[in-house]
Chains A and B, each alone.
Chain A
């Protein structure tokens, strides 16, 4: 404030008004910051999962006299589930390569495979949850099961959202083609999808495999 009042008229040497910040907006091409912004979202999503992992880590051995992980987890089923997610990751990768080459129909085919594997993953997870609840190992049984259902369920909810997003984008591409905006969206979903696979690595390691060791 004082430096301004020292200059009598608020003008610099050239007679231009003094400015202490950039007056003109820097030019940004449309969508130039989308990727970074989406990465920030993924990182904050990562923190949500970190908190759920921490809750599971703390409560994971509070069985309240109920079933233990060893008794209820079926590792072969989890292995199949993991394979589904891995396959969907590679097919999405191939879809991105086809997008780069501008081959829309082949890209749509790979996206359809990705959606199919995602749907398989969700079906298996739903079957697992239904079996657990049927056996009386529902989320209300013990703190271990509450935290288990919250963590794995949140991941499943993310995959469900990813699937809806995938179908939406396939329709968008069908209607408008591989325009820049659609490419950007497909790249965001790519990051989202691979990110969910990364979270799943944590889930099968910390929840299923380490639970079966106890």
Chain B
């Protein structure tokens, strides 16, 4: 993380011609408060109503059995979950590409990649292992 301070002139090239302005802008950028643009009452309420909607629909779909086919239902509620996570990230966690010079977004993208590898990898590998182990398990049972 020290990297982002090592070359301040690169990050603030537009101020490089004026040392005073440069120093000021840099100090200001680094201030922690800039990370969270806090949003407004309106944006919080918007996020809240979107979340309520995105929560209520999948619960309603599963509880009433609106979808005949379980795999269609699973895909739809997963889509709603992804949408709701994005809503929370934007309206509640105030994620954007600019905060902390983009490092929060970088960390998030890296984490998402790891999460996808962990989840899909584990389920994929273990599913195949279970399938292949089945005859042996059946032989043990006999």
Contact = CB atoms under 8 A, between A and B. Distances in A.
B88 A201 contact: yes
A197 B111 CA distance: 17
Interface string B5-37: 110100000000000000000010011110110
Interface in A35-54: 35-36, 39-40, 43, 46-47, 50-51, 53-54
Interface in A85-101: 86, 89-90, 93-94, 96-97, 100
B36 A86 contact: no
Interface of A: 22, 26-29, 31-36, 39-40, 43, 46-47, 50-51, 53-55, 57-58, 75-76, 78-79, 82-83, 86, 89-90, 93-94, 96-97, 100, 183-184, 187, 190-191, 194-195, 197-198, 201-202, 204-206, 209-210, 212-214
A35 B95 CA distance: 12
A166 to B, nearest CB: 16
Nearest to A39: B104
Given A58-B123, A90-B48, A198 B85 contact: yes
A188 B83 CA distance: 24
B134 interface: no
Given A27-B27, A43-B107, A198-B89, A89 B32 contact: no
11 contacts: A28-B30, A34-B32, A36-B35, A47-B118, A50-B115, A53-B119, A96-B38, A194-B88, A205-B58, A209-B77, A213-B70
Contact of B48 (A89, A96, A210, A213): A89
A47 B93 CA distance: 18
A208 B27 CA distance: 47
A100 B68 CA distance: 49
Contacts of A194: 88, 92-93
A205 B81 contact: yes
Interface string B35-55: 110111100110110011001
A51 B118 contact: yes
Contacts of A89: 48, 51, 88, 92
A79 B100 contact: no
Nearest to B123: A57
B119 A86 contact: no
B107 A40 contact: yes
B122 A197 contact: no
A22 B103 CA distance: 22
Contacts of B123: 54, 57-58
